[in-house]
Chains A and B, each alone.
Chain A
Amino acid sequence: MSNKITIVQAVQQALQNEMTLDPTVVVYGEDVGVEGGVFRATEGLQKEFGVERAFDTPLAESAIVGTAVGMAINGMKPVVEMQFMGFIYPAVNQIISHVARYRNRTRGQRHLPMVIRAPYGGGIRALEHHSESTEALFAHIPGLKVVIPSTPYDAKGLLIAAIRDPDPVLFLEPKRIYRAFRQDVPEEAYTLPIGKAKILQEGDQVTVVTWGAMVPEVQKAVAALQDISVELIDLRTISPMDRETIIASVEKTGRILIVHEAAKSFGAGAEIMAVVNEKAFLSLEAPPMRLTGFDTTFPLPRGEEHYFLSPARIENKIRELAAY
C-alpha cells in the first residue's frame, strides 16, 4: 500500500511501529505527550499507547536523559526527545559521563538500549539556539553512535534500527527538511544498518560526502553539473563512520569534497579528510576540500542565508575541485 510520507511522519511512524511491536519502548520529553511534540514527531502516540508510554516531562534535559539511563538499566527501551539540539547541552554530562560509558564501566554487565532524538540544524528562521548542528561534539565521544537521516525512508529504517540497537544512539533529525518532500515508505517496520553510508549517485570525477539537510542542496547542485561526473554519498551515520564507502569512492575519483552545515574547524569533515589522507593518499589528485558553515555562531534569521550553503556555492566548489 502506498504510504507517501515526510521525514517527520516517518519518525512518528517508526516510533508507532516499535511501540506496537515492543512493549518496553517508551517515548518521553518536553511536550511529546499531549501536544505530540513541537514538530509533531510524536503525534498520536499518547492517544494510542497511553500516558504511561508517551508522556510529557518537567522541563529538564539532564533529567530526561538521566532517567532514560535508569529506565534502560531497568529493562525499558526509552526513546527521549531533546526539543532542539540547542537544548541538549544541559544533558551533556549525562550523555558523556554515563550514556556513553555504562557498558564499558561495567564490563558489559549493564548496557543502555536507548535513543536520544533531537531535531538539528538551521534554516527555519528560528530564535537563537534553535539552529545548532553540533554532531561532531558527540561523534568524538567513544561509546555513542550518531545517526543523521536525510529522507523519510532512511529516517524510518534508521530510527527503528536505533531503537533495536543494544547501544545508545543519538538520532539527529534535519528539521529544515522535516516536511520538504514525501517518499513512498513501507508501512510496516524495517531497519537499515547503522554505520553504512549510501551512494546516492555514482560518478567517477569527484566524490561529494554530505548528510542531513545538506543532501537535497547538494543534489540540486549536482543536477546542475551536467559536465562533471559526481559520486554523491549520504553519510547517514556520523559515528561509527563508514570509511570503506568513502575510501572506495575516492580511490575511483581521486577527488573529495565534504559538505556540512556545521562549523568548519574540528568538524566531522576534518575527520573524513583525515581518513582519506590516511587511507587513500596515493589515489588523491587534488587536496581534499570542505565546504561548511563558518566558524561562527549560527546567525539569527536576518543573516542565516549567508551561513546556509546554497546549491550555487556547492556547485562552485565542486567546479573548483574538479578543475584543480
Chain B
Amino acid sequence: MQIIKKFNPLEDEMIQVMNEKGEIINPELMPDVSDEDILSLYKLMRRTRAMDTIALSLQRQGRMLTYAPNMGQEAAQVGSAYALKKTDWAVPAFRELGMWLMKGWSMEKILQYWYGNEWGSHTGEDLRLLPVSVPIASQFQHAVGIGMAARFKKEDDIIMAYVGDGGTSQGDFHEALNFAAVYKTPNVFVIQNNHYAISVPISKQTASKNLAVKALAYGMPGILVDGNDLFAMIAVSQQAADYAREHGPVLIEAFTFRLGAHTTSDDPTKYRTDEDVNPWKEKDPILRLERYLLNKGLLKEEEIEPMQEELEAEVMEAYRAIEHSSDTKVEEIFSYHYETMTPQLQEQLDEYQAFLKGAESNV
C-alpha cells in the first residue's frame, strides 16, 4: 500500500510503470503478474477493441443501436478490474467494456443490452456486477451503499465504482465520496478521465489541478495514474483494493483518452482536432502493451492479426446469437415493475393484447 499512503496528488505527478515504448521505467512498482496473465489481459484488451470495432460496423449497417465505444481506455478498464476478486463488486457507469468482460458479463449479454433488450442487464445470479447506469455519477451512491452493507455484514469484499471526468461535477459524486469517507466503506472509486464529457473538455469541467486531488477534501487518498499503462493501473488498483479492504475508500484518477466518439450519435470533429487526438494515438494502451510483449518475446508480430480476426469472429458469433432472438415479448414490458403485477398493469396488458389479437385476426 506504499503508493496509496505516500502519493500526493497536489504534486500533480502521475504514476507510471511502463512508458510509451513498452519499457518498464519504474520496476519497483511493477505488479507481480505472470507472463501468462499479461498475455491473457492483452487478449482481453484486444477483445474489447474487437467488440467496439464490430459494434460500430454493425451500427453503420443498421444492425446495432446507439453504442458507446471504449477505444483508448482499455487498460484503465481491464487493469482496474484485474484487482478484483470474484466476490468483489463492480459498479459501472456505461463505458467499462473491458471491466465488464473481466468481471464475467458475457459478450452475448452485453451486445443484447446495447441492442435494446433489458435481458442483457440480467447478468446471472452470482455476478457481482451492477447494470449500466446512465444518470451520470448516480451509481457512486449505490457503490457506497453496497459498501455500507458489506461493512455491516463484516464481509471482506470491496466495491469498485466507475465514473467519467464529467461525472466529477455532479452532486452525487461529492455526496458519495463524502459518505464513503465518513463511514470508511471499502470502496475504490475510479475516474476514467478521458478528457471529454461528450464535447466539453476537462478544462471546462473543473478548475482543480487534477481530479485525484479532490479526494483530499473528503479525507481519503487520491491517486493520479497513467490510465493507458496497464501495469500502472494494476499496481495502483491492487494497492487501492488492499487499502479499501483494510482502511476505507480510495479515489483513483485514470488519466486516459477517448479515441473514438462519445457514442455513435456523436461527431467528435465538432469539438476537437487531429492535433488534439494524434498524440494520444501514440499512447494507445494496446499498442503500448504490445510493444512490451514483442520486446519480451511473449508475442510475435505475425500472431497479432490472426488473433484480432479470431476475436472479431467470436464477437460476430455472439452477436448472431442475439441478433434475431432479442425482441422483447409484450408481457415482459409489464412483468418486472413489481413482484406482483398491479391490477392497473394487468388491465393495460390485457387491453393491448386484445388489440394485437384483433389486429392479427383482421389481417
Binding site for B on A (CB under 8 A): 26, 52, 57-58, 60, 62-63, 65-76, 78, 90, 93-94, 97-98, 103-111, 142-143, 145, 166-167, 195, 240-241, 243-244
Cβ–Cβ contact A67 & B148, under 8 A: yes
Are A63 and B338 in contact (CB-based, < 8 A)? Answer: no
Q: Does B198 contact A (CB under 8 A)?
A: no
Is B144 a contact partner of A67 (Cβ separation < 8 A)?
Answer: yes
Query: Which chain B residues numbered 163 to 185 have a C-beta less than 8 Å away from chain A?
Result: 171-172, 175-176, 178-179, 182
Q: Within the assembled complex, what's the spacing in Å between the Cα atoms of A70 and B152? A: 13
Q: A73-B130, A107-B119 are in contact. List 4 more A-B contacts (CB 8 A).
A: A58-B179, A63-B144, A67-B148, A97-B134
Partner of A66, one of B130, B138, B182: B138
- Once bound together, how far apart are the Cα atoms of A94 and B124, in whole Å? 24
What's the A-B contact tally at a CB cutoff of 8 Å? Answer: 133
Query: Could you tell me if B141 and A70 are in contact, using CB atoms closer than 8 angstroms?
Result: yes
Q: B153 touching A75 by the CB < 8 A rule? A: yes
Residue from the list A71, A97, A143, A195 in contact with B145, Cβ < 8 A: A71
Smallest CB separation, B85 vs chain A (Å): 16
Please report the C-alpha to C-alpha distance between residue A65 and residue B134 in the assembled complex, in whole angstroms: 17
Q: Which residues of B contact A94 (CB under 8 A)?
A: 138, 141, 172
Inter-subunit contact B144/A73 (CB<8 Å):
no
**Mask of B29-43 contacts with A, CB within 8 angstroms, 1/0:** 000000000000000
Please classify how large the interface on chain B is, using the bins under 10, 10 to 19, 20 to 34, 35 or more. Answer: 35 or more
CB-based contact A93/B135 at 8 Å: yes
- The residues of A that contact B176 with a CB separation of less than 8 Å are 63, 66-67
- B141-A57 in contact (CB<8A): no
Q: When the two chains form the complex, which single residue of B121, B182, B343 contacts A243, counting CB atoms closer than 8 Å?
A: B343
Closest to B177 in A: A63
Q: Across the interface, name the chain B residue whose C-beta is closest to A242.
A: B343
CB-CB < 8 A to B141: which residues of A?
A: 62-63, 65-67, 69-70, 94
Among residues 85 to 143 in chain B, which have CB atoms less than 8 Å away from a CB atom of chain A?
89, 118-119, 121-125, 130-131, 133-135, 138, 140-143
Q: Does the CB pair A106–B122 fall under 8 Å?
A: yes
- Across the interface, which residues of A come within 8 angstroms of B148, CB to CB? 67, 70-71
Q: Which of B89, B123, B332 contacts A109 (CB 8 A)?
A: B123
Nearest Cβ on chain B to A214's Cβ, whole angstroms: 23
CB–CB A70/B122 < 8 A = no
Q: Known contacts A66-B138, A69-B145, A104-B118; decide if A142 and B178 are in contact (CB<8 Å).
A: no
Contact residue among B89, B135, B138, B336 (Cβ-Cβ distance under 8 Å from A104)? B336
